């Protein structure tokens, strides 16, 4: 599936599924009406799917309102956003720390998409962090200059080209977004990492509670909705997060997310593996359940090779 195709990725974002996206696309059904990303972040899967024309329409949702405003700017007014980013980037000479702080103050006052994009391009680990007042307080990474304006322009215009006219952007709680899905749609859920960033971690505006999440998935099963979930994982022997319970009847697949940079730094050669869960309705539409109920795992492996 992973070809020479260049997929634009305008928003640098910690936890982006950019590297895993091509493998996840291998579990898409034949036809997708709307691809819904309730925890979109940098919407890496949406962009990868749109680049291959795998869905008719897209929904980018995230509880973080300024992030969704940035998505709207990317989709609807890409030229303007690219120009604004360039102006911010070119003005960062002299005291870059002071300049970053000024843009951060501006962003906390106005919520401007261009300021947010600049901050994400320059801050530590491209990780959004907020203080108790809800102000963005992440520090700059002095080794990161932020993408060159020409590069950023290409990413912004590329993403807009793929999504314009077929994408709805919203800032709702994930529960309200999945409630609108129909049997034609596919939902991709990548909630905030549990364990790595706990349910009360300030880097996300609102945590996602395990029990509530499981209940939401149960209602989706009941409605025969096709969905995919990225959830727990492991690096070497260390496990991140809890597995989703058996009673959800999900197909769990392990995807290789690559080598952990932290483990490499510590001299350990460990790979990170992430679980991808397929809903019963999706597994059935991929003919994994009905025909081969006892050999689902082998069938999945076979499918993975075929796609
Ligand atoms: C792990 S990130 C998703 C990363 C994304 N898959 C990507 O490729 O960039 C989780 C996202 O969920 C959002 N979020 C947290 N709680 C939420 C909620 N209750 N409803 C919707 N979005 C939420 C966060 O703002 C964050 O952007």
Ligand 1 neighbours, Cβ below 6 Å, are: 13, 15-17, 38-39, 41-42, 44, 62-64, 173-174, 190-193, 204-206, 208
List Cβ neighbours of 291 (8 Å cut-off, separation of 6 or more).
299
| Kind and range of the H or E run holding 60 | strand 57-61
Kindly list the domain boundaries of the chain, sorted by start residue. 21-70+160-196+211-306, 78-155
Quick check: do 21-70+160-196+211-306 and 78-155 share a fold? no
- % residues pLDDT > 90 (the chain): 73
To 10 degrees, what angle do helices 65-76 and 149-163 make?
80
- For residue 218, report the distance from its CA to the centre of ligand 1, in Å: 20
Instruction: Tell me the H-state helices in 92-222.
Output: 96-110, 113-122, 149-163, 174-178, 210-222
Probe ligand 1: pick from 40, 48, 49, 136, max atoms within 8 Å of CB? Answer: 40
In contact, 163 and 50? CB cutoff 8 Å: yes
At 298, the pLDDT band (50, 70, 90 cuts) reads low
State the DSSP H helix or E strand holding residue 259, giving kind and residue range, or none if neither.
strand 251-259
Confidence of residue 264 (pLDDT cuts 50, 70, 90): low
Write the CATH number of the domain with boundaries 21-70+160-196+211-306.
3.40.50.150
pLDDT at 257: 82
Q: Is 142 exposed, middle or buried (0-12, 13-18, 19+ CB in 10 A)?
A: exposed
From the CB of residue 141, how many other CB atoms can be counted at a distance below 10 Å? 16
CATH number given to 78-155? 1.10.1020.10
Summarised one tens digit per residue, pLDDT across range 133-163 is 999 999 999 899 999 999 999 999 999 999 9
Atom of ligand 1 minimally distant from the CA of 42: 9
Mean pLDDT over residues 183-187, rounded?
97
| pLDDT for 2 | 47
- Partners of residue 40 on adjacent β-strands: none
Render pLDDT for 207-250 as a digit per residue (tens, 0 to 9).
578 899 999 999 999 999 999 999 988 888 888 888 899 999 99
Task: Please state, in angstroms and rounded to a whole number, the distance separating the CA atoms of residues 231 and 193.
Answer: 7
Q: Residue 293 has what pLDDT?
A: 45
What is the per-residue pLDDT for 265? 59
For residue 263, is pLDDT > 90?
no
Q: Which residue has the higher pLDDT, 191 or 242?
A: 191
- pLDDT value, residue 70: 98
CA-nearest residue for atom 17, ligand 1, is: 63
Residue 294 pLDDT level (bands cut at 50, 70, 90): very low
Strand partners, 259: 271
| Ligand 1 centroid to residue 306 C-alpha, Å | 31
pLDDT of residue 239: 87
Distance between CA 126 and CA 130 in Å, rounded?
A: 13
């Amino acid at each position: 599936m992973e070809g020479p195709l260049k997929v634009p990725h305008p928003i640098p974002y910690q936890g982006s599924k950019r590297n895993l996206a091509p493998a996840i696309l291998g579990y898409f059904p034949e036809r997708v009406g709307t691809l819904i990303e309730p925890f979109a972040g940098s919407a890496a899967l949406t962009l990868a799917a749109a680049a291959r024309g795998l869905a008719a329409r897209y929904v980018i949702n995230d509880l973080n309102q300024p992030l969704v405003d940035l998505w709207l700017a990317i989709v609807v007014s890409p030229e303007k956003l690219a120009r604004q980013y360039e102006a911010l980037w070119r003005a960062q000479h002299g005291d870059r720390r002071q300049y970053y702080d000024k843009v951060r103050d501006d962003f906390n006052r106005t919520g401007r998409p261009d300021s947010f994009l600049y901050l994400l391009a320059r801050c530590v680990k491209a990780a959004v962090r907020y203080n108790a007042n809800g102000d963005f307080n992440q520090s700059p990474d002095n080794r990161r200059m932020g993408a060159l304006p020409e590069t950023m322009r290409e990413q912004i215009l590329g993403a807009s080209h793929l999504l314009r006219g077929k994408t709805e952007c919203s800032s709702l709680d994930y529960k309200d977004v999945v409630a609108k899905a129909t049997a034609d749609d596919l939902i991709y859920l990548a909630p905030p990492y549990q364990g790595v960033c706990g349910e009360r971690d300030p880097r996300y505006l609102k945590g996602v509670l395990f029990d509530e999440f499981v209940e939401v998935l149960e209602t989706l099963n009941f409605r025969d909705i096709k969905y995919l979930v990225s959830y727990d994982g492991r690096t070497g022997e260390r496990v991140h997060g809890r597995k989703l319970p058996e009673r959800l009847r999900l197909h769990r697949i392990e995807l290789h997310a690559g080598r952990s940079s932290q483990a490499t730094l510590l001299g350990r050669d460990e790979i990170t593996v992430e679980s991808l869960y397929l809903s019963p309705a999706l597994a059935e539409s991929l003919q994994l359940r009905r025909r081969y109920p006892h050999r689902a795992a082998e069938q999945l492996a076979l499918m993975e090779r075929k796609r």
